Amino acid sequence: SMQSGLKFNWNQTLEENGAYNVWIDFDAARSIVKRGNGTYALKPVIRAFSELTDGQIKGYVLPQAANAQVHVISPANDTIATALPNLADGFYMFKGLPANTYTVSFDADATTPYVDQNQTGVTVVYGQVNNLGTKTLTQ
């Protein structure tokens, strides 16, 4: 029989009688997959996190004409999160990141003349926001 539903991998040691807020983050940019025949498939990419695992990265990516996506890449070279910056100002924010040291990739849309950039050594600590400031892509 076919079964459907969502399963969340949330690796966390819980204290007895504790109360936890758990959030889920639906990664739309990585969940919609274009098939070879031009149609699209929904393959949900969802992360679960709590206050105990809520490391954050934020910043701005410019210019708007680069139409960039921002990716958080783990030391194992896995993309663990993707953000589509606000069109108005280029603001992006990642929440619920595990503590680690990441590479943040700023990927310009391939139809533009702008060049991708990577920022290595981006540390994430639980309960803290790492503000990367403004990244300006060049042609």
Question: pLDDT per residue over 43-52, tens digit each?
Answer: 887 877 776 6
pLDDT average, residue stretch 134-138: 97
Any residues with CB less than 8 A from the CB of 117 and at least 6 apart, and which? 105, 106, 135, 137
pLDDT above 80: residue 6: no
- Mean pLDDT (the chain, rounded): 87
8 Å CB contact between 72 and 81: yes
8 Å CB contact between 31 and 59: no
This prediction's pTM = 0.69
Greatest C-alpha distance within the chain: 55
Which segments of 51-116 are extended strands (E)? 55-62, 69-73, 79-83, 91-97, 100-107
pLDDT average, residue stretch 89-94: 95
Dump pLDDT digits (tens) for 9-43. Answer: 766 777 777 667 777 878 777 788 889 999 998 88
8 Å CB contact between 100 and 122: no
Neighbours of 49 (CB within 10 A): 21
